[in-house]
Structure formats: structure tokens, C-alpha cells
Structure 1
Amino acid sequence: MTQTHAAHEGHHEHGHHQQCGADSGQAEILDLDAEVLAEHIAAIIKWLPLKSDPRQIVDLASGTGAGTFALLGRFPEAHVLAVDASPGHLQRLREKACARGVDEHVRTVLADLDDATWPDLGTPDLVWASGSMHHMADPDHTLRTVRDLLAPNGLFAIVEMAGLPRFLPENAPADRPGLEDRVHAATDRFHAQRLPHRGADWGPMLNTAGFAVAGELTVAIDIDGSHNAAIGRYALGALQRIRAAATELATEDLTALDRLLDTSSPHSILRRDDLAVRTEHTVWAARRN
């Protein structure tokens, strides 16, 4: 099971049962996701209604560590247990921890969170689940398991993105205006049965699992990409990942999409200067009842 926001859907799928061969491409988009959205993730962490600085943190479906390192940036004395089903992602996370000099504060655990029993994750003060809950095969089981391991005054933070980000202006590309809307609609239909909890309201499910919601936050994101090369690479990676889910698109739309994805083309998305990252995050923060 992997983490993080954006690209989860179409490649990533970010699926939990990720095979090693897909790790490197997925890891790259996760790293770009972390880079582009860093300020927003830091703001969410700052908002969390914590009663004191957490000392023990679990990052569920950590991916390559976007949440892990953002949390350590805010709580440098904490120790983070990063849990993921991808050995490649965890290796990358460990390498980053060493490069940043925080390896003594990070431990990784290889585990599939859809398994009936989880490895011992201690008694964390904070459990962080970013972009991962909608991938769970049995989210009610996940919620109950988190409740059981959380410290008595601990906090569980669920962060979800409103689908995939939008990158293009509405009138783009010139020959197929509105292409991105149609790609997203096709992707939504593709995932409707595969990921039934995509876009869910986690508040009622948290209550049913024995939590009390302590706060809910929605953050609109609109980042200008005209002077940020990372956003072009992020857009390219995200659209490449959802290309496989867009097979029902009209032939003309597929042709236009492939032209955007062709990095050797003058129409490549990497050559555009009108990109942005537009989406929103919703956060639920909950404590045990």
C-alpha cells in the first residue's frame, strides 16, 4: 500500500499490492508530489489539534516519506515508524533519512495494511494516513486497528486529496479544449468500483469505529507552475499514470493526451508555461472515544 496524494489513482495506482518493477516510476511521482505540495502539507501538520508534541508517530502507507519528513520537520524530537508495502519505497525513504541526518529518528516496517493482523507498531501519539485510506480493502478494519494501537490522548490524522490535481487551463489544449475534464471523468468512472471509498467523508466512519472527530479542515490548492519546472514533471507523471485508465476516451482525446505526454513533441506538457496545480486536501483529525 503506498502513500501520498496525487498520483495515486491511475498508476499508483498507487495500489497497495504494488510490484517492485513499478516502484521507481511511482517513487518519482511521490517525490514530486512531496516537493510541490510541501508548504500545504506543513500547514496541515501545523493545524493538527494536538495536545502536545508527539514523540511516537506512525506514518501509514508512507510511500517515499512525504509525510514522514514533513512531520519530522515540525516535530524534530519525534520518532517516526514508516509503514508501507513497497520495499523500494521504504529503501528510498531510508536513503533520504540518512541524507538528511535523521536516520536515528526513522524506522521502516514492511507490511500490507490490508492484512488481518499488523506488525507491532507501538503506541503512537500520532497516526498519519495521507492519501492511503481510500485504498484500503476494508477501511473499517483499518480504523478499528488504528484506534486500538493509538495512545489514549493520541491523534489520528486522515488526509485525502479531492481526486487527481488539475494542471491545464480549461481551454487547453487548443485542438481539444476541456481535455483534462474528460480525462478526469473517465478516470472517475474507472475507479468508481475499484476504489469505492475514493472521495468518502471519513467523519461518520471514524465515529462508527470509536473515534471522536476533533477537527476537520479543507485546504484549496492553486499553485502557479509557470516558474516551477517540478510542476511540469509532476503533471507529466500524473497524466502518464492515469493514461491507462482513460481508454474509453474518444480517439481524438487520446491522440491529444498522447501528444501532451510525448516529451519530444513541441506540444509536450513540459513545454507549456501555463500549468498550475489545482486541487484540495481534506483532513480529519480524531481521538479515541
Structure 2
Amino acid sequence: MTHPAPHGTHTAHEHVHVETDLAEILDLDAEVLAEHIAAVTASLPTETDPRHIVDLGCGTGAGTLALLRRFPNSRVTAVDSAPAHLDRLRDKAVADGVDERLRIVRADLDTPTLPDLGRPELVWASASMHHMSDPDRTLRQVRELLSPGGVFLMIELAAFPRFLPPAAPADSPGLEDRCHAAIDREHAATTSHRGADWTPKLTAAGFTIESENTRTLHVPAARNPAVTRYAHTTFTGLRTRIGRLLTPEDRTALDRLLDPESPQSLRNRDDLALRTRRTTWTTRAG
């Protein structure tokens, strides 16, 4: 999945920096939620391996690689607009020995015409649809792309993941929610469809919904140490991007969380956990 920066707000150097930070976050999300991704791919309603799969907004390849593992006889076309993400995906595919079954396409999906992606039997889109300026158009494009009777699986998250208990940190309770509220205001123009009601949109685009499943995911750092790295990378990005919008008190509290020498550092906390809610729609083209 790709989370583009707001248009016109970053220099070329800053854009590369944002892409790199996001690539780290996507890799950490995939590491922490590997079991969830594997469970979703395992539930796909396919009796045989699809010949061709398309991953729209593939990011650094969490879904792409899971699909290649799940369907060893399939070929996957992975599409994204961020070169840093695609480079990481290519390296991972080579390391996994699946690069011969992978086609990588760099393209902006938020356009009136999709690139030539063939006629896949399965299209996967994880946390990418809400970034489209006209998601209804994109859903219609996916419907036209699919082979008759093909499967479209879409995953969306209601909000950014959370890591701290609601009353934390002690010197600034609710800091995490205020940080995310600030970044939501900053990105309102480019992520206005996060949390949209996707069921009627899918139906209007011509899909038959076979299942809709919302899961609340909770992964304590005590169970998976990558949660702490995920939290630190996320809060570092928040400090860089919206620190100026916080009160001096909140900036100080955030800096303490990021300071490895501070007793309040994220790395010294025993209450960190990834908390997120994700909804999966499994649909079929009529």
C-alpha cells in the first residue's frame, strides 16, 4: 500500500525522506501483522491457483509476497507509484526466490485510465482505495479489469494504528490521539475517504459481496518486539511532520517518548501494543 504525501507540501528531498520512512512503516506493519495477512490470503475463495493476480497499491509487498506464497502456481503483477517501495519489493522477491513470477509496474493508480494489467482472476487492494481522489471510478476500473467471475479482495483500516494506552503518557494523557488528529487535519484533502462506507460503493461498482469481516487486532510488544520499532518509527514520523502543530507541552512529551535515554522512552515501556481495526471485503465480479 502507498500513502502519498499531500501534493505541493514537500520538496523533492523531503518526498524521498517521506517515502523512505513510509517504506519502513509498511515493512514493520507487515512483520507485526504477518499472521493476519496469511489468514486473509488463506480465506480467499479459490479452488485452484489463479493464473494471474494483481496487487493494486502494493507498497513494499506484504500482500504481494503473501499471495505468491499462497498460490505457488500464480503470477502476480504488483502496482505502485513509489520507487522506494517497489525497490524493496523487488529485493524481497529475489531473496524469496519468487521474482520470476513477479511483474512490477510503476504507475499512478489515481488516473482516469489504468495501465495495461491484463485480465487477472484475482485483484488485491490493501489500504490503497482510500487514497484515491475518485474511489468510485477506481472501483469501476477494477471491475472492468477482472476476468468474469473474478475475485476482488479489499482491505481498509478505519484509522492509523495506536500503540499507547489511552491515558499515556502520564505527563500528557491522550497525546497519541492528538497527534493523529493533527495529521488527519493535515492530510484531509488527500485521505478524505479513510473510513468511508465501502459496501455500497462496491455494490454500485458491480461487485457481489461474498463476505465482509472486521477484525480488531492487538499485538503486544512483549509478544512481538517489532511493535516497539513500529511505534518508534511512527512517532518519529509524527514528530517530523506535525510537531509544529502541537503545543509545547505535547512536543516535550513526544520528545521524551523518542529519547532512548529517557525513562519514559518508548523503548523502556512495557505497555506498548499495536492496536488496529481492519475490514476485509471479499467480492466477485458479476
Deviation digits for residues 161-210 of structure 1, max 9, x if unmatched? 12111101222112112222322333333333432111112111111112
Unaligned runs of 5+ in 1: none
**1:236 corresponds to which of 212, 232, 238:** 232
State the 4+ residue runs in structure 1 displaced beyond 4 angstroms: 12-15
Q: Is the 8 A contact 2:21 2:237 kept in 1?
A: no
Q: Which of 188, 191, 199 in structure 2 is aligned with 1:192?
A: 188
What is the alpha-carbon distance in structure 2 between the residues aligned to residue 224 and residue 114 of structure 1?
A: 36
Q: Which residue of 2 aligns with 1:24?
A: 20
Matched residue of 1:177: which SS?
A: coil
Corresponding residue to 1:254 among 251, 256, 261 = 251
Q: How does 1:1-289 map to 2 (within 5 A)?
A: 3=1, 8=3, 13=5, 19-50=15-46, 52-243=48-239, 244-245=241-242, 247-289=244-286
Q: Aligned partners of 1:269, 1:27: CA distance in 2, in Å?
A: 21
Task: Give the TM-score normalised by the residue count of structure 2.
Answer: 0.90
Instruction: Identify if the C-alpha distance between structure 1 residues 26 and 187 changes in structure 2 by more than 3 Å, giving closer, same or farther.
Output: closer
RMSD (Å) for aligned C-alpha atoms: 2.2
Task: Provide the rounded CA distance (Å) in 1 between the counterparts of 2:6 and 2:222.
Answer: 27
C-alpha contact (below 8 Å) 2:216/2:278 kept by paired residues: yes
Q: Aligned equivalents of 1:248 and 1:27: distance in 2?
A: 24
Question: Which whole-Å deviations, capped at 9, do the CAs of 1:17-65 have from their partners, x for residues lacking one?
Answer: 9944433222111111110010011112222333543221101111110
How far apart in 1 are the matches of 2:50 and 2:73?
9
Report the alpha carbon displacement of residue 112 of structure 1 after superposing the two structures with TM: 0.6
Q: Distance in 1 between matches of 2:107 and 2:198?
A: 23
**Structure 1 pair 194/119, CA: closer, same or farther in 2 (3 Å)?**
closer
CA contact (8 A) 2:158 2:278 kept: yes
Deviates more, 1:138-147 or 1:19-28: 19-28
> After superposition, what is the alpha-carbon deviation per residue over 1:78-120, rounded to whole angstroms, capped at 9, x for unaligned?
1110101112211211111111111111110010111222221
Cα distance, 1:238 vs. partner? 1.6
Distance 2:205 2:104 in 1: 26
Unaligned 5+ segments in structure 2 are: none
Separation in structure 1 between the aligned mates of residue 186 and residue 218 of structure 2, nearest angstrom: 26
- Asked if structure 2 preserves the Cα contact closer than 8 Å seen for 1:31 and 1:66, the reply is yes
Q: Greater shift after overlay, 36-45 or 183-192?
A: 183-192
Q: Give CA-to-partner distance per residue, 1:190-241, whole Å, 9 cap, x none.
A: 3334321111121111111121212111111011112432111101112222
8 Å contact kept, 2:133–2:190: no
Deviations 1:132-176 (CA, angstroms, capped at 9, x unpaired) = 100012112211111111011211111011211110122211211
How far is 1:251 from its partner?
A: 2.3
- Code of the residue aligned with 1:194 in structure 2: it is T
Structure 1 residues 198 and 245: CA distance shift in structure 2, 3 A: farther
- Deviation of 1:271 after TM superposition, in Å, equals 2.2
Aligned to 1:77, the other structure's residue is in SS state coil
